Amino acid sequence: MSRYEAQKRDGLARVGTYEHEEASVSLPAALDTDALFPTLRDRALSNVPLAIDPAFVENYFSPGEGQPVAVHPLAASAESGDCVMVANWHTAEKNPRNYAGWLAGLKEKIPPDTAWYAPVAALPSTACLLVYSGFDLFDYRGVDLATAQKKFCLSEGEFPASMMETGVCGCEGCREGDLLRHNRLALDRELALVRHYVEAGRLRELMEARCRTDAAQVGILRFLDRNYAFMERSLPVARAIPMQANTAESQNRAEVRRFADRVIERFVPTRTDVAVLLPCSARKPYSLSRSHRLFVNTVNRRAHELIVTSPLGLVPRELERVYPAAHYDVPVTGYWDREECAFIADILTRYFAAHPYRRVIAHLEGGALTVAEMAAEACGIDLEVTCEGHPTSPGSCGH
């Protein structure tokens, strides 16, 4: 009999406790899993490759006796409280499409209150992705294997052992010239950092940063994002911290799409006679900014105020205090790339198709104006452009 309880969640990632016989361990962590599961090393037939034909799985795969319960994308069955073990998961990292597909399939078939063990998979460079994917329990076999291969492990990747002498790390292992110790400590340190980000509700930001050094990890992040229904249901509807939308992947966050979909499908505008499209402000909520105080006074309730912004698309004034509109951060360069324009124009197009206004005024410039024009053309709206130069200039606000 074993038990898993999550204390904190961030998407698929959890911080929790797994109890098995006398042991109680806090996860995510790398542990000596031979001590936790003494019978595991004698177990046969649980090491079936992930990409194998169904007949092989049917003939040879066995979940094993007791804990952990081995699972396979083609044979996934476990009960609440189990620790499930996915053998060979490190091989999935080479194939982003399969990684995302297998993960969604496994997570859908297995109860959420289970601990997830990925044997041999964790390295300092993969720990963040594994926790982001919903794995909790790891061992030191991956880093010990890297040690045998004379590799120096960092969260940025694997380097030749000689790098240990260059001073990039000052851990106990490095000071004593002990590669095995450094590699184990580097994994512990990365898992501690990842845990902090899960607790802070900011793991997505760390994941977007960590994946940069490996094309396959970027691919996995994108394939997971494309599986919107799967990712969205484990994400919170509100957070107490700002959303940092600093990379191209940020706009694919399920939270961004969820906000846009809700504005289009659930939100009912208070009025549909005249809409005025306004630029966003660095300060959030927008109405606290100097420019928006000016806009609110100038519009003076004569129109429905809609803020055009990246990456959220469109924020009606009534929703400016709702997460993530109330606080998000994006790099402001004044330049909107084509992908960003197409993505946001699509949101505006869908919004105006769902909510036709008698008049639409665009008090915008630059990328935001381009986006509004793209949307107006797509849904056959005559856009009234009121900006002369900067949106807050006296000429612009006199209309």
For residues 198 and 8, the answer to whether their CB atoms sit within 8 Å is yes
Three-state secondary structure string covering the chain: CEEEEEEEEECCEEEEEEEECCEEEEECEECCHHHHCCCHHHCCCCCCCCCCCHHHHHHHCCCCCCCCEEEECCECCCCCCCEEEECCHHHHCCCHHHHHHHHHHHHHHCCCCCEEECCCCCCCCCHHHHHHCCCCEECCHHHHHHHHCCEEEECCEEEEHHHHHHCCCCCHHHHCCCHHHHHHHHHHHHHHHHHHHHHHCCHHHHHHHHHHHCHHHHHHHHHHHHCHHHHHCCCCCCCCCCEECCCHHHHHCHHHHHHHHHHHHCCCCCCCCEEEEEECCCCCCHHHCHHHHHHHHHHCCCCEEEEEECCCEEEEHHHCCCCCCCCEECCCCCCCCHHHHHHHHHHHHHHHHHCCCCEEEECCCHHHHHHHHHHHHHCCCCEEECCCCCCCCHHHHCC
Minimum CB distance to Zn ion smaller for 175 or for 359: 175
Minimum CB distance to Zn ion smaller for 179 or for 375: 179
CB 171 → Zn ion: shortest distance, Å?
A: 3
Residues at the interface with Zn ion (CB under 5 A): 169, 171, 173-174, 182
Minimum CB distance to Zn ion smaller for 169 or for 379: 169
Minimum CB distance to Zn ion smaller for 174 or for 306: 174
Minimum CB distance to Zn ion smaller for 40 or for 174: 174
CB 182 → Zn ion: shortest distance, Å?
A: 4
CB 150 → Zn ion: shortest distance, Å?
A: 15
Minimum CB distance to Zn ion smaller for 5 or for 172: 172
CB 29 → Zn ion: shortest distance, Å?
A: 19
Minimum CB distance to Zn ion smaller for 192 or for 282: 192
CB 30 → Zn ion: shortest distance, Å?
A: 16
CB 194 → Zn ion: shortest distance, Å?
A: 18
Minimum CB distance to Zn ion smaller for 190 or for 225: 190
Beta strands 2-10; 13-20: pairing state: antiparallel
CB 157 → Zn ion: shortest distance, Å?
A: 15
CB 148 → Zn ion: shortest distance, Å?
A: 17
Minimum CB distance to Zn ion smaller for 122 or for 345: 122
* Residue closest to 92 by CA, chosen among 82, 83, 102: 102
CB 174 → Zn ion: shortest distance, Å?
A: 3
